[in-house]
Amino acid sequence: MTPSLTLTASSERLPIGALLALAMTGFICIVTETLPAGLLPLISEGLAISPSMAGQMVTAYALGSVLAVIPMTIATRGWRRRNVLLLTIVGFLLFNTITALSSHYGVTLVARFFAGVAAGLAWSLLAGYARRMVAPHQQGRALALAMVGTPIALSLGVPLGTWLGGLVGWRTTFGLMSALTLALIAWVLVKVPDYPPQAADQRVSLGKVLSTPGVRPVLAVVISWMLAHNILYTYIAPFVAPAGLAERVDLVLLVFGVAALAGIWLTARLVEPLLRKTVLVSLATFAVVSGVFGLMGKVPEVIYLGVAVWGLSFGGAATLLQTALADAAGDGADVALSLNVVAWNSAIAGSGVVGGVLLDRWGVASFPWAMLGLIGVALLIAWRARGHGFKPGARSAEKPASVGH
């Protein structure tokens, strides 16, 4: 694998323009994935299908990400890096345009599946790309900036897309997403540096990556943490209803999104010197919030405060976990980050099933205790992964693992 670009002291400033282009790519990934959720009535009417069938547009997207990310990542390791990034963005341009123009449900589902394929490849690429642009001791901060598009999309992009759909129609909204990708293509060509492909003799197999010490513990934390998080996030509307906030879900999610942005800002300052401690504190904080929700979840003020603390503890999760995973995997970072996409999306899918079962059998009161159990597992795994995965001390104090693309 080609070693990370070595930067001199004169290059200490972060390449803000290039990193924000990566952040915009992540923003488009998230908004493209979740946009149908806010437009279900309009889509079902436009395609003459039921809302549940329209909802499968989200499922098809997630399925494309999960199934294609590993083979696509391995298949493109011999390509120049910017070409791969542009491929993912062109994929969004093409398949969002097809979604906007299609009047056939089957064609729309196929377009959504391949949009998910583009997203899976993008997510496997972004973290390593951001790390490669900077010196080793700046990798955590660079990754935090590159990931800022995610909470912005979740807190602002989806509500904005829903509002636009009601104003100009769902097809025009997807068309506007295509226009955004055109602007992003120009941005990438101007601001994002290109890098050579990974050398053939340095490409690490999937099996070897999985057997690398530290990789499996980090992936296990990803699954358990994201499963707990998404049980609450997916079913936030019924969860806050007993507190009388059924009509204020938008405000609750806005509080979460703003707090998550603060969490990213905080993580950018802590990931280099205190990655392990930040992970443990974030998990412990979410565990405390879960317990408080379990005991006082019907009090509106508790919900708002708890959601703010939850967002603060979660905002830097992607940065922390992807940094830990890439550090542990070393030359296998590309493949490891593709496994992260699978683990993350599988947890999202699993949360829908687990949360649905909990809701039907025991009601929303069971959510906090299930979350507490899952977070407890994640905390235990992270605590024990002291030798590999979540090492103590500053990242810059050690020789960093090489990161290639």
Query: What are the structural domains, with CATH classification, of the chain?
Result: 11-202 (1.20.1250.20), 206-394 (1.20.1250.20)
CA distance 377 to 382: 9
Range among 11-25, 63-77, 136-150, 272-286 rated most confident: 272-286
Q: How many CA atoms lie within 13 A of 7 on its CB side?
A: 17
Q: pLDDT per residue over 26-50, tens digit each?
A: 999 988 988 887 787 788 889 988 8
Distance between CA atoms of residues 176 and 144, nearest Å: 27
Ranges 204-218, 247-261, 292-306, 387-401, most confident? 292-306
* pLDDT at 12 exceeding the cut of 80: no
Number of residues assigned to the chain? 405
The number of C-alpha atoms within 13 Å of 255 and in the hemisphere containing its C-beta is 18
CA separation, residue 154 to residues 159, 174, 332, 355 (Å): 8, 17, 30, 20
What confidence category does residue 200 fall into, taking pLDDT thresholds of 50, 70 and 90? low
Q: Picking from 98-107, 124-133, 285-294, 381-390, which range would have the lowest pLDDT averaged per residue?
A: 124-133
> Comparing C-alpha atoms, which of 345, 365, 147 is closest to residue 230?
345
Does residue 385 have a pLDDT over 90? yes
Question: Burial, 159: exposed, middle or buried (Cβ in 10 Å; 0-12, 13-18, 19+)?
Answer: middle
- Read off the pLDDT band of 10 (50, 70, 90): very low
Q: Which residues lie closer than 8 Å to 254 by C-beta, 6 or more apart?
A: 155, 159
**Residue of 53 and 20 predicted with greater confidence:** 20
Kindly indicate the confidence band of residue 401, based on its pLDDT and cuts at 50, 70 and 90. Answer: very low
Residues 6+ apart with CB under 8 A from 211: none
Q: Cβ atoms within 10 A of the Cβ of 155, count?
A: 20
Residue 11 has pLDDT above 60, yes or no: no
HSE at residue 314, side-chain half, CA atoms within 13 A, is 29
| Helix, strand or coil, per DSSP, at residue 358 | helix
Strand, helix or coil for residue 314: helix
Q: Which residue has the higher pLDDT, 244 or 50?
A: 244
Question: Could you tell me how far CA 222 lies from the centroid of its own chain?
Answer: 11
pLDDT of residue 201: 59
- C-alpha 322/C-alpha 148 separation (Å) is 14
CB 311 within 8 Å of CB 258: yes
pLDDT recorded at residue 398 = 45
SS3 283: helix
Mean of pLDDT over the chain: 86
Structure tokens at 92: 């969004």
